[in-house]
Amino acid sequence: MNSPPTPSTVTLRTITKMARERRPFACLTCYDATTARWLERAGVHVLLVGDTAAEMVLGLPSTIHMPLDVLIALTAGVKRGAPRTLVMADMPFMSYQVSQDEALRNAGRFMTEGLADVVKIEADASHAPLVERMARAGVPICGHVGSKPQQAGLTGGYSSAGRTPSEAARVVEDAVALERAGAVMLLVEAVPESVTSRILEETSVPLIGIGAGPACHGQVLVLQDLLGITERPPVFAEPLAQMGHQLQKVAEEWVRRVSERIVTGHRFEVRVEGAASAVRPSIR
């Protein structure tokens, strides 16, 4: 049976209804308006402007280097490119950990300057008071539990979570605490499917998964991993294309044409107007 068509505008209410009706929703990361436009046309329900932009866009060594102001600007660009799609902003490292006042101010900037519909933070149960305060202020929060890339420095690199009974219980407790504090969505990363099942049993808000099994209400991947243009995608990200090679081929063909002075497309001619000559400018 075909899934019901996606509404013309996707809101938090849309996602909540889809989760309640067990209709999976699709999420992808996105960092620019042009790409957002095409992903919206494809029917992607949620676009996450992740702090992975540090690596994917800026070429920085890890997500912790993502500048706050840049990510706010990228979020706004994505929303302008996909105005009918739910856009989730990722609060970068040290944008919400210093103090609750600063965290609330920065989250508000993502909504006003960044045009975000939802704001995501990597959190555990200790962040419940912050989430509660943000919710009271009207900021829709997605709590990110499980593996937390911003804390990779504590373990010497990226790693999975919830693989021992005590770790699994902690991840579930974090998810429950964040929902009780007012989180409107949850995201769980790189955990065993049994942990995902327990979160689904003990929470009621939409749950997005990445490397957490197929049972989640929604699934997200880094777009560049899906397109096959990253050098080393994570083990849970199966590319659906190899667009890196295609991009290289197109660029190589362009280099060849330029070297051989092959110019295609419309050519502008000199037009005489009275006694004067002028070249009509190129108009896009």
Residues in the chain: 284
At what angle are helices 193-202 and 165-181 packed, to 10 degrees? Answer: 30
- Gap between the Cα atoms of 90 and 186, Å rounded: 13
What domains can you pick out in the chain, each with its CATH number?
Answer: 12-244 (3.20.20.60)
Of 84, 57, 85, 59, the C-alpha closest to 71 is: 57
pLDDT in tens, 132-147: 999 999 999 999 999 9
Residues of the chain with pLDDT under 50: 1
Of 142, 136, 88, the C-alpha closest to 115 is: 88
| Catalytic residue (choose from 40, 102, 189, 269) | 189
Q: What is residue 164's predicted lDDT score, i.e. its pLDDT?
A: 95
Q: What is residue 275's predicted lDDT score, i.e. its pLDDT?
A: 53
pLDDT in tens, 24-39: 999 999 999 999 999 9
Mapping DSSP onto H, E and C, the string for the chain reads CCCCCCCCCCCHHHHHHHHHCCCCEEEEECCCHHHHHHHHHHCCCEEEECCCHHHHCCCCCCHHHCCHHHHHHHHHHHHHHCCCCEEEEECCCCCCCCCHHHHHHHHHHHHHCCCCCEEEEECCHHHHHHHHHHHHHCCCEEEEEECCHHHHHHCCCCCCCCCCHHHHHHHHHHHHHHHHHCCCEEEEECCCHHHHHHHHHHCCCCEEEECCCCCCCEEEECHHHHHCCCCCCCCCCCCCCCHHHHHHHHHHHHHHHHHCCCCCCCCCCEEEECCEEEECCCCC
Of 40, 52, 43, 54, the C-alpha closest to 18 is: 43
- Gap between the Cα atoms of 113 and 76, Å rounded: 7
Residue 189 falls in the annotated catalytic set: yes
Q: What is residue 1's predicted lDDT score, i.e. its pLDDT?
A: 46
- Gap between the Cα atoms of 169 and 212, Å rounded: 15
